[in-house]
Structure 1
């Protein structure tokens, strides 16, 4: 369990009982364009994913944690470290908060907690995030967590009958 200064949430490893919540989030068609998902995940695939949750971040180059509320341990979302590169000391960061819990500060606390974990325990130099330019809520969130826009990929993603430009955001640890 990780809190790293978060007051209202904590982050924890995936457990077998997270299967239905994982299925709910992963199979939400409204979110598919964010993860380049094209088809629903079967229960078996997600169970297999959970069965392999014990594998180390240095082996699989990713880590998914459940975001839970302190007050009642209720799951509110997931936060992912992906494309972890110990050699280059960087990793991608993705987050999804269940619709009913958005706008309550949980995402900001989770990003700040996982960033602290990455910088202090994984010896990362930076996190990066890819955010479509029309995703104003995510842009505002990541900027509030110290991420800066460093580039754009024009017409990068195609969904809903049109192309979308994706921005690259980075949070680089400056050690003095």
Structure 2
């Protein structure tokens, strides 16, 4: 895949992304706020990049001018049942050095346009950690509507993970004005 925007591009992962990828997965804040895998183990980080390279719904966010990977964006299936085939869940993380520059917003808009125009999606969902206010605000500026909060408790761990779910429908303002 290759989607080109004004400042960024969404593309498939490359093995040459390893250094930038390791910076993302070695930042515990990315795990805590966005659910990205966390590791300090370089070999495991290489295995993670290999896994992302093979995923058909995960992409690198890279700067348009020099192809430097600055983040990850995904458009994951929500299930295989008939009523879920035309829906996806978007997820994203941008390296802390590149935040607050509009790159996440541009990447989300590009991927949503691709989803609605080419994949013929009817809905795109997004979830955020309850305390992660920046992506919540971003989603709302992109016409996502807050729908509900849920606790994604992991079985047998006792860990609670409250998240907020947002929804964007194909007939939204964003799609009409892209």
Sort the TM-score into its range (normalised by shorter chain): 0.7 to 0.9
The runs of at least 4 consecutive aligned structure 1 residues that moved more than 6 Å come to none
Uncovered stretches (5+) of structure 1, i.e. residues with no partner: 58-62
Contact 1:157 1:166 in 2 (8 A): no
1:23 and 2:17 matched: no
1:77 and 2:71 matched: yes
Shift of 1:85: 4.0
Uncovered stretches (5+) of structure 2, i.e. residues with no partner: none
State how far apart, in whole Å, the 2-side matches of 1:103 and 1:95 are: 14
Name the CA shift for 1:144/1:121 in 2 (closer, same or farther; >3 Å).
Answer: same
- The alignment partner of 2:135 has SS state of helix
Contact 2:25 2:36 in 1 (8 A): no
1:67 and 2:61 matched: yes
1:9 and 2:8 matched: yes
Contact 2:21 2:69 in 1 (8 A): no
- In the superposition, the TM-score normalised over structure 2's length comes to 0.77
Shift of 1:149: 0.2
Name the CA shift for 1:148/1:99 in 2 (closer, same or farther; >3 Å).
Answer: same
RMSD (Å) for aligned C-alpha atoms:
2.8
Counterpart in 2 of 1:102? 99
Counterpart in 2 of 1:111? 108
Shift of 1:21: 1.8
Name the CA shift for 1:16/1:167 in 2 (closer, same or farther; >3 Å).
Answer: same
- In the superposition, the TM-score normalised over structure 1's length comes to 0.78
- The alignment partner of 1:2 has SS state of strand
More strand per residue: 1 or 2? 1
1:130 and 2:127 matched: yes
